[in-house]
Structure 1
Amino acid sequence: MSPTRRPRTPALLVTALVTGLGAALTLAACTSTSSATGDAASADASGPDVLRIGYQLIPNGDLVVKHEGWLEEALPGTDVQWIRFDSGGDVNTAVVAGSVDVGLAGSSPVTRGLSKPLDIDYRVLWVHDVIGDAESLVARDGSGVSSVADLAGRTIATPFASTAHYSLTAALAEAGVGEDDVRLVDLQPADILGAWTRGDVDAAYVWEPTLSELGGTVLTTSTQVAQGGHPTYDLGVVTRAFADEHPDAVDAWLEAQDRAVALLQDDPDAAAEAIGAELDLPTDEVTTQLAGLTFLRGSEQAGETYFGTPDAPGAFAASLASAAQFLHAQGAIDAVPDVADLQDRIAVDALARVFGGR
């Protein structure tokens, strides 16, 4: 494990995105077609032959949709393929390689994807969750670290190009700790757990469910980092080609995601049970993890606070631009995209079709 102090340069990042695909892909077949309360999502929609969805083991509505088989129900003629990834950077890799149509990635890797040199041809489609305490910086018990400032000279693990990495860098800067003052190592969540157990790292910034497995002392959370001006999200993205060719399938996907958020809000025990089945965790543990995330209905996302409409852009593009400014300062992207360009990369047309009248 070699020390890494700064994010990969753009050229190296592109190389990693293309060459890392084989390691990133793990096929996972959807295993449940059970029903739940609520109307079926666009059940008569004509769908594509195949819909390839990149998902992560994050406790949110995406896992509810997967477990309940709502897309299979809504698109009976479509082969819905659920492909598991460990991070948003891996999802970017798959999109670049043409292996995913719709995927889940954090706002930091999505911002990188929307910026040069990557400039991935996808659009932001959905806010899966607003990240709060479910993503945090923790120190190993017995490490002698009790504050972010104490991390100077220590080893910290996080998945690079992720929302956790973005929040970690912001937290260090806020505490007056430079990146050259710590040893940052790029590890995926499962590898963080192993390094933590061996005592190879002093701290880690990571998300649930790995966060709960680590335990340790919480130094800061993404809720606190957001209060300092650096909010983070888990986002749904769709390739422009797929969205243009299969709007009915996109609408069905949005309806299913909104149905999952409704279940999370109206019957959280049922939602936690579905998510727990996907994470192989008891319902009470999932319920605790869900408390660290905020979930938004589609009608709220289509409003001015978030995505807005084709005629009235929302504030979300400005939030992405703020993240891009930070990433540019870190040398992770070539330039900060204009807010107008970022707004063009939000699928407000699809959101208006599905939620505009609600």
Structure 2
Amino acid sequence: MSRVPEGPSRRLLLAGALGVASAAVTGCSSNDEGSSGGAKRLRIGYFAFPSGDLIVKNRKLLEKALPGYEITWIKFDSGASVNQAFLGKALDIAALGSSPFARGLSGASPIPYKVAWILDVAGDNEALVARKDTGVSDVAGLKGRTVATPFASTSHYSLLAALETAGLEASDVKLVDLQPQAILAAWQRGDIDATYVWLPTLDELRKTGRQLTSSKQVGAAGKPTLDLAVVSDDLIARDPKAIEAWRKSEAEALRLLKSDPDGAVDAVSAELGISKTDARAQLAQGVFLTPEQVTSPDWLGTDGNPGRLLSYVTDTARFLAGQKQIDAAPSAAAIRDAFYAKGLPDVLK
């Protein structure tokens, strides 16, 4: 398979990370105790994407659980920028797609973080759509077309998988690296023919586009993607109790998605600045596990007994290596070591 453009070098990623760090956490000086002005600090990266994270943030569940902490929520557009921020030591906890997580574990100097939770499983909330005026009606029809996606994201991974299933190589299309807002602008100008992207941008594109496949279908065909939550090695070493409190808050949010759907809609609507009708429709497109499912053998697993997520991340890394997106897949031991399930499931009770 022809080689597609590789991601930036670690040196460039680190330079970008320092910019992210200075912009996102201005005034929060870094030190070994993770504190600022005497208060313990947590810097949490999140996406403007329907998930339990938005409920935790909106209802201040973590602030209630950790009243003595200074908690900063930092919004990111993609997993690539989250990886940059971890390299720059600008984050303690963050949402991260399974594909950029697999990337972060690769190379001679893997990013010092571990997966500690599952936020959701990608469903119809990430999809490949083509502009209706292109006449493209299936993935194979994208040959020779310009297709945009945020590189190093779960959408990028799913796009490559969809192309392979349709008998196309990455070189058969013109791949363009754009963030969601830039994708919307390029779509409106007619600069791109198709895109693989996530909500809420996806819903806007569906108005004038035709959906060709979704991450739900790609996953069912053997290449699932997930939105994970990762914690830095520094935080694991200095404050595991904070991670326990954060996990409990995320578990509460997952339960609220089932037990209080109207309340979940209200929280997502407020955080995204969209109508409750749109928030309800967007939440319906995701696949949200229960806390019990998260810690089951089918998904994250428990301390010393990782679940199927281990094989999903392993398969993702191998696929990315095969696509020349990374130089080589990390070893099985490196991936296993990047799981942090200490205290699970007992800590959730």
Provide TM-score, normalisation by structure 1: 0.89
Shift of 1:189: 0.5
Structure 1 CA distance for aligned equivalents of residues 70 and 339 of structure 2:
26
Structure 2 CA distance for aligned equivalents of residues 63 and 95 of structure 1:
21
Residue of structure 2 in register with 1:291 after alignment: 284
Kept after mapping to 1: 8 A contact 2:118/2:300 = no
Kept after mapping to 1: 8 A contact 2:255/2:291 = no
The number of equivalent residue pairs is 334
Gap change, CA 1:197 and 1:223, over 3 Å in 2? same
Kept after mapping to 2: 8 A contact 1:208/1:289 = yes
Structure 2 CA distance for aligned equivalents of residues 136 and 344 of structure 1:
31
Gap change, CA 1:23 and 1:121, over 3 Å in 2? closer
Structure 2 CA distance for aligned equivalents of residues 138 and 194 of structure 1:
15
Deviations 1:26-54 (A, max 9, x none): 6499xxxxxxxxxxxxxxxxx96110001
Shift of 1:117: 4.0
Residue of structure 2 in register with 1:57 after alignment: 48
Gap change, CA 1:168 and 1:117, over 3 Å in 2? farther
Shift of 1:223: 0.7
Kept after mapping to 2: 8 A contact 1:153/1:183 = yes
5+ unaligned residues in a row in structure 1: which ranges? Answer: 30-46
Structure 1 CA distance for aligned equivalents of residues 193 and 227 of structure 2:
26
Is 2:269 aligned against 1:269?
Answer: no
Percent identity (aligned)? 46
Structure 2 CA distance for aligned equivalents of residues 50 and 314 of structure 1:
31
Shift of 1:352: 3.7
**Aligned partner (choices 203, 219, 225) of residue 218 of structure 2:** 225
Shift of 1:157: 0.5
5+ unaligned residues in a row in structure 2: which ranges? Answer: 27-37
Gap change, CA 1:118 and 1:155, over 3 Å in 2? farther
RMSD after superposition: 2.0
Is 2:6 aligned against 1:8?
Answer: yes
Shift of 1:341: 3.0
Q: How does 1:1-358 map to 2 (within 5 A)?
A: 6-9=4-7, 12-21=8-17, 24=20, 27=24, 49-215=40-206, 216-355=209-348
Shift of 1:17: 1.6
Residue of structure 2 in register with 1:35 after alignment: none
Structure 1 CA distance for aligned equivalents of residues 11 and 313 of structure 2:
24
Q: SS at 1:348's partner residue?
A: coil
Q: 287-296 or 271-280, which moves further after superposition?
A: 287-296
Kept after mapping to 2: 8 A contact 1:17/1:93 = yes
Shift of 1:353: 4.5
Structure 2 CA distance for aligned equivalents of residues 322 and 278 of structure 1:
34
Structure 1 CA distance for aligned equivalents of residues 214 and 87 of structure 2:
31
Kept after mapping to 2: 8 A contact 1:24/1:86 = no
Kept after mapping to 2: 8 A contact 1:303/1:309 = yes
Deviations 1:164-211 (A, max 9, x none): 000000101111111111110000001101101111100000000110
Q: Which amino acid aligns with 1:296?
A: L
Provide TM-score, normalisation by structure 2: 0.91
